[in-house]
């Protein structure tokens, strides 16, 4: 069925003072791409691929993944689709992956660290992505990066996946942009170094807040200490944005704060120009931005860099 989008949903994000703001959607399942479009998303800023691996006894094979990624890319008809490689570990367990039982799983094998332990899984996923990229504007996003070496490793893996697809004569795109999640304090602080290895940044404020404030994002006991708008987090965002601008890299925020109508203007005031959020938040965030002048956003951002809220 054709996507039905109300005329008001077709307006791109824009401040009252005229500056454009790219509004993308976060999705966890291919079927949500249609909802994202209906809600007025200009692309998919974060497609979490964990769902493909959960609730089963073996990992999905290359074709199953290819079909899932292709479905989203085709639904989005040329709009950007940023697909994150597997970010299992931490609080999400998958029995068949045989992860170690760690006392601090959030500080252990998760995200790209799992990929480095299981390059076979990573190769399969990357091959599926490079194949699906022939159908539209697919970009790859790497989760849980703390040091530049991890990005170098992933890029080498992506290069060899492209080479093996070429050898086998399988249609694919070799030049897919590779971006880095900025969700550890180390990544934010060294964003200038990571910028040499990345085509874009996506700031994951959910984890960035957990790691910077040393407060488990899933624990009710420390929830009062967990705030995505504390001065510490906003300073890390500001530092990342500064590095991105100097390196001429686009920078998105894809954590929950991007979809909070009171917080989104602050992020824009810090220099962020792309926000990716749950589809249900898109219209309220667009509305709030359309009522905000850039000078107001900047003044608000400047104020909160120096107070705890
Ligand atoms: C984040 O950490 O902010 C993020 C967007 O990723 P996830 O919530 O999947 O960890
Ligand atoms: Mg995260």
Q: What is the ipTM of this complex?
A: 0.99
More confident site: 98 or 148: 148
- C-alpha 302/C-alpha 309 separation (Å) is 13
Q: Is the pLDDT of residue 179 over 70?
A: yes
Is 206 annotated in some ligand binding site?
Answer: yes
Answer yes or no: is the C-beta of 277 below 6 A from any ligand 1 atom: no
- C-alpha 258/C-alpha 282 separation (Å) is 10
pLDDT at residue 143, as a whole number: 98
Contact 136, 76 (CB under 8 A): yes
Q: For 49-177, where are the E strands, in sequence order?
A: 80-84, 137-142
- C-alpha 253/C-alpha 265 separation (Å) is 12
pLDDT in tens, 70-117: 999 999 999 999 999 999 987 677 888 888 888 898 999 999 999 999
pLDDT at residue 98, as a whole number: 80
Mutate to test the pocket of ligand 1, among 206, 227, 233 (most ligand atoms within 8 A of CB): 206
Is 225 annotated in some ligand binding site?
Answer: no
pLDDT at residue 95, as a whole number: 83
pLDDT at residue 309, as a whole number: 46
Q: Which residues are part of the catalytic machinery? A: 254
Mutate to test the pocket of ligand 1, among 88, 90, 207 (most ligand atoms within 8 A of CB): 207
pLDDT at residue 299, as a whole number: 94
Ligand 2 center to 207 CA (angstroms): 5
pLDDT at residue 29, as a whole number: 97
pLDDT in tens, 226-257: 999 999 999 999 999 999 999 999 999 999 99
pLDDT at residue 8, as a whole number: 64
């Amino acid at each position: 069925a054709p996507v039905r989008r109300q005329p008001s949903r077709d307006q791109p994000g824009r401040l009252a003072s005229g500056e454009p703001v790219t509004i993308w959607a976060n999705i966890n399942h291919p079927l949500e791409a249609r909802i994202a479009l209906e809600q007025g998303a200009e692309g998919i800023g974060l497609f979490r691929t964990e769902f493909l691996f959960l609730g089963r006894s073996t990992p999905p094979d290359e074709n199953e993944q290819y079909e899932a990624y292709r479905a989203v890319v085709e639904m989005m008809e040329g709009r950007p689709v940023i697909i994150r490689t597997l970010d299992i570990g931490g609080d999400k367990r998958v029995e068949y992956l045989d992860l170690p039982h760690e006392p601090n799983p959030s500080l252990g094998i998760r995200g790209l660290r799992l990929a480095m332990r299981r390059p076979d899984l990573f190769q399969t996923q990357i091959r599926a992505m490079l194949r699906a990229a022939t159908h539209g504007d697919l970009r790859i996003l790497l989760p849980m990066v703390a040091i530049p070496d991890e990005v170098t490793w992933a890029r080498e893996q992506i290069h060899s996946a492209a080479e093996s697809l070429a050898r086998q004569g399988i249609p694919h795109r070799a030049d897919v942009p590779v971006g880095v999640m900025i969700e550890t304090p180390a990544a934010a602080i060294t964003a200038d170094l990571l910028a040499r290895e990345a085509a874009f940044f996506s700031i994951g404020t959910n984890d960035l807040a957990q790691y910077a404030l040393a407060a488990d994002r899933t624990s009710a006991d420390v929830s009062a200490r967990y705030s995505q708008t504390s001065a510490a987090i906003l300073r890390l965002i500001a530092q990342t944005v500064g590095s991105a601008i100097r390196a001429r890299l686009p920078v998105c925020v894809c954590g929950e704060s991007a979809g909070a109508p009171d917080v989104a203007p602050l992020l824009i005031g810090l220099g962020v120009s792309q926000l990716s959020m749950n589809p249900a938040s898109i219209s309220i965030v667009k509305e709030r931005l359309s009522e905000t002048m850039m000078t107001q956003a900047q003044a608000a951002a400047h104020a909160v860099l120096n107070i705890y809220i």
